[in-house]
Structure 1
Amino acid sequence: MDNINRIKHLYCRGGFGLSISGLEHIKGLSVKHAVEDLFKSSSGIQPLTVIDGNETYNDAAKADSLTKKMFMQQQRQLEKDLNTGWITQMSTTDSQLREKMTLFWHNHFACRTQNAFYAQQLNNIHRTHALGNFKTLLLEVSKSPAMLQFLNNQQNKKGHPNENFARELMELFTIGRGNYTEHDVKESARAFTGWGFNNNGAFVERKALHDDGEKVFLGKSGAFTGEDIINTLLERKETARFICTKLYKYLVNDMPEAKNINAMADVFYGSSYDISKLLKFVLTADWFYADKNTGNLIKAPVDFIVGLNRQFYISYKNPEILMQFERALGQVLFYPPNVAGWPGGKSWIDSSSLMFRLKIPSTVLNDGVIAFKGKADPEDEAFLAMNVSKRNAVNTQVQSQPNWDKFLSGIPANISKASIAGALLAPALNSNLMAIVNRSTDVRSMVIELVSTPEYQLC
């Protein structure tokens, strides 16, 4: 693979892709220097600040039915604002690697909450520690109101332990299935008794509700607390291997390769769970750039939408259209299907979502009309029922504004149409793609047709 394709691959996987002008700007860098540049541009932290505070939620429980209906409408609007705020940030920020890894942790620590303030708080935890230390990230997530509420640890009390959080902590967040017993789940749940949060969304250890008796967990015994359990899980190399397997599928290939994953786990475990050291190891490894690992991943819906926005500098008169795109494609931010998150891979594509994927680029780039239909998300059902509305097919004007002048001016004067196509697409140009290139009479129509192909769905 030549250098320009390596740089393109790096930014496709470690970010949301490069514009043609951006690729031209850094194509002369070595892979090592390009990786350093990617990290440098993501060194800053820009938190989401869409939701001001938690006060509204504290008053809702006391409200009458009319006020509760108004509150529910307000809540839905806050959720929409948070969603579009994050999409906009991913589409415009220079911190591509940080946002790409925030998206990874958003799915790894999958969580649903009706409190948009808590959702924003958890998202900012993911962002703050996205490139930092996994232990710190895990502790902060475990103490967040969103996760404590979602997995019922607010109800976890001495004498009546709730096992939800303890189970998912092991099964989905750390060592994975097969590496613990039901007894470990029960003892772990006892250790997390008393962990909760107050009305301000701050973590509290309720000492009176904590079981301070001796527990036996993964072969060790003691009067363990929640932090002791987390430390014990991180002492097990199975945790490093579990995280590295998920990251490999996210950044490299859907088909795990044991040799590479073991090498990743050695780095991760040996660095005391330093996420940046792990990522630098992966992004500079020769196998990361092997032909079998390029142009082979189906873009997640959010990657697809954000990549399109970034490539063509798209703005939207009504950003809520982006949520309709997400829903049609099967990935609504802050609404994972369950605590296991979105499965990814080939599950992103079915006959319905593929139709939308192929239609969205030309619609967005031509400010067209697109029909949305389908069943509402389960969390929306109550809201829809209250408003006596049904989700039938709706023709929606996208009202998008790509910046064609900026896109076209970023293309070097002497570059061939085939080279433009190569910069836009991850897979190698085949005969069908070359036919599009050869019959096109202008660059604009060519690129719209190219980004409407199945090949554009791959990175």
Structure 2
Amino acid sequence: MSDISKIKHLYARAGFGLQVSHIKMAERQTLEEAIELIFKSSEVKQPLSLFKQNINYKQISKTDSLSKKMFLKQQRQKEKELNLAWINQMSSTNAILREKMTLFWHNHFACRTQNPWHAQQLNNIHRQYALGNFRTLLLQVSQSPAMLQFLNNQQNKKGHPNENFARELMELFTIGRGNYTEQDVKESARAFTGWGFNNNGNFIERGFLHDDGSKKFMGHAGSFKGIDIINMLLEKKETARFISAKLYRYLVNDTPDAVHVNEMADVLYNNNYEVAALLRYVFSADWFYAPANTGNLIKSPIDLLVGLNRQFDINYDNPDIMMQFQRALGQVLFYPPNVAGWPGGRNWIDSSSLMFRLKIPATILNNGIIDFRGKADPEDEAFLAVMPNQPNKVKEQALSRPHWDKLTGAIYKGLSNMDIAQTIIAPKLSSGLMSIIKQSADMKTMIIELVSTPEYQLC
């Protein structure tokens, strides 16, 4: 595989695809230079900053019924604004690796909260430490109001331990199933008693609610606190292996290779859980660019939408259509299906989503109109139920204005339709794709036909 082919693959996995307008720059780079540029560009940490202060829900709960309804309406609007702000940031940033890894941690630490400020705060934690130290990230997430509330640790107190957070910490966030016992869950839950947050959204350790008695956890005994449990979990090599296997599925292949995952785990563990060190190792490994690991992953709905936005510099006449896209395709940011997150892989494709997946790219690029009648999110349905006389607003909508002139102006002279196609399509070009390239009347027609193929769904 040539360097330019490897760079295209690198951008597909470390970001949201190489833009056609950047091919000339990429052709002048070595793979090592491209990797370094991605890391350098992603040193920038640009937090989302829509909301400046916490929302006092206790005060809202004392208001009258009409005020509650208006508050619920405003809350849903803020959640939508946060969603679209992140979509826009992923679609425009140069810090592509940071945002790609923020998306990974968003799913790894899957969380739903009705407080938009808490959701923004947790998202910014994911972003700040996306390429940093996993230990620090894990602790910050564990102490965030969103996660403390979501997994009921706000209610975890001495004498009445709540096991939700302790269980998910081990099963989903660190060591994985089969590496702990039910007794470990019970004892670690006691260690996290008293962890909570105040009305300002700040983490607090409520000593009067903490169980300071002796606990037995994974062969150790002592008056452990929450931080002790986290440290002991990270001391286990199984945690490094669990994180590495999940990253392998995200960046390399749905079917983990045990040898490569163990190599990754060694790098992560021996570098004290520094994420950037692990990613540099993966992006520099020969097996990362092997034919079996290229053009083989199904794009997540967010990867698909953001990739289109970045490639074609799309402006949406009604940005709300991005929410409809996410619902129809099965991935709404900030609304994972459960604490395990979106399963990903082949689960992205089903009978209802495949039609939209094949239709959406061409419709967007044709300034088209699409009829959305996907099922609303359960919390959206609950919201609509309390609002009087809500009409059915899921109707045909004009979509977008792609900047074709900007794209064609950025394509340098001498770049062939084949070069463009090989940038847009990740898998090896089939005879059917070759026919599209050869028979298309112009570049725009070719691109629209290419993005309408099943191969475009892969990265």
Q: Which TM-score tier does this pair reach, normalised by the shorter chain? A: over 0.9
The equivalent residue for 2:380 is 380
The answer as to whether partners of 2:155 and 2:162 remain within 8 angstroms in 1 is yes
Distance in 2 (alpha carbons) for counterparts of 1:179 and 1:119: 30
Q: Is 1:173 aligned to residue 209 of structure 2? A: no
Seen in structure 2, the aligned counterparts of structure 1 residues 325 and 420 have a Cα distance that, compared at 3 Å, is: same
- Deviation string for 1:361-395 (max 9, x for gaps)? 11111221111113221222210111256896933
Matches within 5 A, 1:379-458: 379-387=379-387, 394-458=394-458
Long gaps (5+) in structure 2: none
Question: How far apart in 1 are the matches of 2:327 and 2:177?
Answer: 30
Aligned to 1:141: 141
Relative to structure 1, is the Cα distance of residues 253 and 72 closer, same or farther in structure 2, using a 3 angstrom cutoff? Answer: same
Q: Is the 8 A contact 1:363 1:398 kept in 2?
A: no
Q: Partner letter of residue 297 of structure 1?
A: L
Are 2:156 and 2:192, in contact at CA under 8 Å, matched by a contact in 1?
A: yes
**Residue of structure 2 in register with 1:115 after alignment:** 115
Residue 29 (structure 1) aligns with = 29
Matched to 1:179, the amino acid is N
Amino acid at match of 1:99: E
Deviations 1:62-84 (A, max 9, x none): 21100000000000000000000
SS of the aligned residue for 1:358 comes to: helix
Show the counterpart of 2:71: 71
Please tell me whether residue 89 in structure 1 is matched to residue 115 in structure 2. no
Q: Please name the residue that 2:154 is paired with.
A: 154
Tell me by how many angstroms 1:58 deviates: 4.7
Letter in 2 for 1:319: P
Task: Tell whether the 8 Å contact from 2:118 to 2:146 is kept in structure 1 after alignment.
Answer: yes
TM-score w.r.t. the length of structure 2 is 0.98
SS at match of 1:244: helix
Contact kept in structure 2, 1:358 and 1:453, CA below 8 Å: yes
- Tell me how far 1:419 sits from its aligned partner: 1.7
- Is 2:215 the counterpart of 1:199? no
Structure 1 vs Structure 2: percent identity of aligned residues? 66
Q: Distance in 1 between matches of 2:432 and 2:399?
A: 31
Does 2:217 match 1:214? no
Structure 1's 91 and 211: CA in aligned 2 closer, same or farther, altered over 3 A? same
Matches within 5 A, 1:274-285: 274-285=274-285
| Equivalence for 1:311 | 311
Q: Structure 2 vs 1, CA of residues 97 and 389 (structure 1 numbering), >3 Å: closer, same or farther?
A: farther
Kept in 2, the 8 Å contact 1:373–1:393? The answer is no
Contact map agreement 1:153 1:164 (CA 8 A) in 2: yes
Contact 2:264 2:278 in 1 (8 A): yes
Does the CA contact (< 8 Å) of 1:122 and 1:146 recur in 2? yes
State the aligned residue count.
459
CA distance in 2, matches of 1:395, 1:145: 37
Does the CA contact (< 8 Å) of 2:252 and 2:288 recur in 1? yes
Q: CA deviation at 1:412?
A: 2.2
Q: Find the residue that maps to 1:91 and give its secondary structure.
A: helix
For residues 59-105 of structure 1, what are the alpha-carbon distances to aligned partners after superposition, in whole Å with 9 as ceiling and x for unaligned?
Answer: 31121100000000000000000000000000000000000000000
| Partner of residue 287, structure 1 | 287
Specify the code of the residue in structure 1 equivalent to 2:354. Answer: L
Structure 1: 5+ residue stretches without partners: none
The one-letter amino acid of 1:329's match is L
- After TM superposition, the structure 1 stretch with the greater mean CA deviation from structure 2, 273-282 or 24-33, is 24-33
Which residue of structure 2 lines up, in the alignment, with residue 13 of structure 1?
13
Q: Is the 8 A contact 2:158 2:194 kept in 1?
A: yes
CA distance in 1, matches of 2:218, 2:404: 59
How far did 1:57 drift? 3.7
User: How far apart in 2 are the matches of 1:400 and 1:235?
Assistant: 50
Q: Is the 8 A contact 2:327 2:375 kept in 1?
A: no
Within 1, Cα distance between the matches of 2:429 and 2:55?
A: 55
Q: 1:405: Cα distance to partner?
A: 1.1
Query: What is the Cα deviation at residue 428 of structure 1?
Result: 1.1
Distance apart, 1:344 and its partner CA: 0.2
Is 1:370 the counterpart of 2:370 in the alignment? Answer: yes
Give the aligned CA root-mean-square deviation in angstroms.
Answer: 1.2
CA distance in 2, matches of 1:234, 1:49: 32
Provide the C-alpha distance between the structure 2 equivalents of 1:129 and 1:55, rounded to a whole number of angstroms: 25
Q: How far is 1:28 from its partner?
A: 2.4
Q: Give the AA of the match of 2:330.
A: G
In 1, are the aligned partners of 2:101 and 2:130 still within 8 Å (CA)? Answer: yes
Distance (Å, rounded) in 2 between the aligned partners of 1:339 and 1:104:
14
Amino acid at match of 1:431: S
**Secondary structure at the counterpart of residue 100 of structure 1:** helix
Cα distance between partner residues in 1 of 2:304 and 2:24? 22
Q: Which amino acid aligns with 2:136?
A: T
Maintained 8 Å contact 2:69/2:387? no
**Contact 2:133–2:273 (8 Å) recurs in 1:** yes
Q: CA deviation at 1:403?
A: 1.0
d(CA) in 1 for partners of 2:391, 2:420: 40
Counterpart of 1:429 in structure 2: which amino acid? L
1:370 and 1:388 map into 2 onto residues whose CA distance is: 27
Q: Using the alignment, how far apart are the partners of 2:391 and 2:350 within structure 1?
A: 20
| 1:243-262 equivalence runs, <5 A | 243-262=243-262
**Counterpart contact for 1:367–1:397, Cα < 8 Å:** no
How far apart are the structure 2 equivalents of 1:72 and 1:401? 32
Letter in 2 for 1:396: E
The question of 1:263 aligning with 2:263 is answered: yes
Q: CA deviation at 1:406?
A: 1.2
Between the aligned partners of 1:206 and 1:73, the Cα distance in structure 2 is 34
**Number of the residue aligned with 1:324:** 324
- Structure 1 residues 122, 336: closer, same or farther in 2, change over 3 A? same
SS at match of 1:394: coil
Residue number in structure 2 paired with 1:358: 358
The CA distance in 2 between the partners of 1:201 and 1:369, in whole Å, is 42
Q: Distance in 2 between matches of 1:99 and 1:317?
A: 25
- Structure-2 separation of matches of 1:223 and 1:391: 58
